[in-house]
Structure 1
């Protein structure tokens, strides 16, 4: 086992820049506008924001090496959920009402990770190793949870009678929020304690990973991870203004904002999952991809529901018919892909095609 890698400069530089950027624009009272100066600010903001998210990835992985799997994967997933809730709440509950943002973001997350990210990981692993193995028992638990939570949060609101349209009444939204939190809590217990072996590779083999970080190094990563998450939350409002201006500039549909938010918050899972697939650890890739979808529905929907109810904002959850068809296709394909315990490049290509259809229909419905 080799010595632990030194901390990259970017892992502390970008969180620092993010905090300084927030302090500067707050002190100056800067308000973003789509001008030449505004475009320069948008570019700087996006670079700093993306760099800060990548820094969060690094520190979460350092901590994960110390605490082991699946707790390390769980830490990364929960960290991203914090970012997700902050971004959705900031945009949806701002001055301009965006009642469909939570729905669009959650649906985009499911489509990105279950089709785009899963497809890339399977394709990358298949091209390099022909076939890759994983635990079917863990994948089945992920898919069972996803099917139930996605149905009661994104599909069922279209068919309730108390409140017409793609809405839940206050009582229904409260009940569904409590149920999703309970289910997710039981799943975490199953994943980390009761059936931990379902989510770990059967044969670990030899490892060329660096040694786990020392105690002081891990404490530093914990602090920098918290700073990174805080910085993203602080810059969420400025980011929302940039997204709105960009969507208006290119004439993008309302779902575009949900995709942008989903892409930003999924950077940690994407980087870690693709890297794991390249190292022939598809089990970790599945934990990251499917786990992020599960956390998005199980934690984000209840959190946004509480915020919407408290601030008396409308929350649209029901998907449109074509989106329901894509959701059902995704679950059907996922059950076939993860039902054998072995994958190949064709499975990966199929998932990527479904993802391409999703993106195309956003702009050409």
Structure 2
């Protein structure tokens, strides 16, 4: 009976989210309506995690993590382009703020929480350093090429790329993302598979796959839930912007809030996987989401600049660059041994807290 109720709930909520999205689209919600929309948004996030896990069980790792990361990122790109096109305050730097926030949230927040939960539950977490190290290297390269270099180039005043430079960064990002997906799913898939805990067999690591019908249904409901999550996040974004402005927090913090909302499904899925002993799945979700966020967003924004007006600020400031460098350095020390304890998880969470605090109080 409980399973039936859970199944019904996860079917109803995504559809209800789409209905609420249709009814509130282009509506400026007041505080009470915004609270109701937020409640539906949270339900859609939880439903998305449920259906993502079903799809992941069917297709196996690392395809399951890839499905969720790409699905969320594609819709995130649509949200960013829509908000930039609206021409609101700070829209010229919204892509940079959101993508950098996504990198910090995934590489420190999601990874750190997963490591901490996994270590508390199992003592020492184990994962493949070959695959995880490759993911971290791709994140570092993409972030540097797309968000650090614009701060130091001289073709345009300010932290901007020239059209030619932006085109190169977009093509390089898309090409590197394609090579990563090929490596992760075809050539070296074994580098990204979960590592069995002591005493476990491969059958213990991999849950029994659901039926094809259940998988297809969950895939459709996953897409519906993600559309509802991002659409409802856009609907409540004016309330978020107003709250940020009234509190005196920099407008760039709006990008952090948007990234937090959009990445909730990955965060919950990664934490649950870590608690179940599938740390490699958690790291695939964390770093894979960061790779997808940069590798798909920057090319899409580059194409959108053909019709979008105004400057496009991509270069990071000094504080952000320091945080990015420290994140990569700590990530290397975490990944190389192939195992981690509560200490590594705590370090990443402190870095994430520092990022959020400095975004609010630069």
TM-score, normalised to structure 2, is: 0.92
Q: Partner of 2:27 in structure 1?
A: 31
> Which residue among 230, 243, 257 is the counterpart of 2:240?
243
Distance 2:249 2:34 in 1: 18
CA positional deviation for 1:87: 2.1
> Which residue among 50, 53, 56 is the counterpart of 1:61?
53
Contact 1:166 1:316 in 2 (8 A): yes
Q: Partner of 2:83 in structure 1?
A: 91
Can you give the 5+ residue segments of structure 1 that lack an aligned partner in the other structure? none
> Which residue among 322, 328, 344 is the counterpart of 1:347?
344
Residue 120 of structure 1 pairs with residue 120 of structure 2 = no
Residue 356 of structure 1 pairs with residue 353 of structure 2 = yes
Q: 1:1-365 residue pairs with structure 2 within 5 A?
A: 6=4, 8-25=7-24, 31-32=27-28, 38-97=30-89, 98-203=91-196, 205=201, 206-207=203-204, 211-235=208-232, 237-365=234-362
Can you give the 5+ residue segments of structure 2 that lack an aligned partner in the other structure? none
**Structure 1 pair 233/261, CA: closer, same or farther in 2 (3 Å)?**
closer
**Structure 1 pair 25/132, CA: closer, same or farther in 2 (3 Å)?**
closer
Contact 1:91 1:240 in 2 (8 A): no
Contact 1:70 1:191 in 2 (8 A): yes
CA positional deviation for 1:210: 5.7
CA positional deviation for 1:118: 1.4
CA positional deviation for 1:156: 0.1
Distance 2:31 2:229 in 1: 19
Contact 2:57 2:206 in 1 (8 A): no
Distance 1:227 1:364 in 2: 36
CA positional deviation for 1:352: 1.3
CA positional deviation for 1:202: 4.3
Distance 2:94 2:47 in 1: 26
Moved more, 319-328 or 42-51: 42-51
CA positional deviation for 1:57: 2.1
What are the superposed Cα offsets for residues 4-23 of structure 1, whole Å, 9 maximum, x if unpaired? Answer: x6552332222222222233
**Structure 1 pair 129/208, CA: closer, same or farther in 2 (3 Å)?**
closer
Number of matched pairs: 354
CA positional deviation for 1:233: 4.9
Distance 2:234 2:116 in 1: 36
- The alignment's C-alpha RMSD in Å is 1.9
Moved more, 241-250 or 104-113: 241-250
Distance 1:247 1:263 in 2: 15
CA positional deviation for 1:295: 0.7
Stretches of 4+ moved more than 4 A in 1? Answer: none
Distance 1:130 1:21 in 2: 43
